Amino acid sequence: MDMFQTGQVIERREVLHGELWLTSPVTVVHDDGDRLAVQLDPGSTFTFPSHSFGVHPWARHSQWGGSIVLQLHRAGDLYSVWKFFTPEGSFRHWYINFEAPLSRGPGHIDTNDYGLDLVIDADGQRHWKDVTDLHHQRTEGRISAQTVLDVLADAAHVEAALDRGEHWWSSWADWSPTTDDAAFPG
């Protein structure tokens, strides 16, 4: 497997039922083959290819909004961890985005958003977001009943780990897009 280079711009793609549904550029911050960190910047354009399933839910947006987002992916996980910043680079919150395990290709990464999210505020408070989206996607035929069960099991695992104070992304706690060396904090 080829790794991406720090500073390389690649495409983050959402793939539904084997077809591209959404693409956007992200910049590689770190890649060790198991863990990939990419940055999504305000104004990054969205492309919505024609899809047999229909229109992507975000299709009314032509670009990413005002937040800088560090997206942390770990091989095999049914989620990625997003660290949100203001446009000026101040930390806002963590965000666990439940999605298909990341796959890699030449100049791109593929996943599919399952809708369920866990927001972790700066003070550590947690709250679930878009809880009904997971089941809505199942009834629409976007995901299977087994995927729902897998995501709910993974969500319970993530929440239990957080209750124990465990999170594999802790080495990124002090990372900021405004630091002089915005590379891997390791």
**Quick one: pLDDT at residue 3?**
92
Mean pLDDT for each 10-residue chunk of the chain (186 residues)? 91 95 96 96 94 88 92 96 94 96 96 95 94 89 94 96 94 86 52
**Quick one: pLDDT at residue 53?**
86
**Quick one: pLDDT at residue 1?**
60
**Quick one: pLDDT at residue 55?**
87
**Quick one: pLDDT at residue 182?**
52
**Quick one: pLDDT at residue 156?**
96
d(CA 142, CA 26) in angstroms, rounded, equals 25
Task: Give the class (CATH, top level) of 9-165.
Answer: mainly beta
Residue boundaries of the structural domains of the chain: 9-165
Sign for the pseudo-dihedral over CA of 51, 54, 57, 58? positive
Residue whose structure tokens are 């975000």? 58
Type of residue found at 57:
P
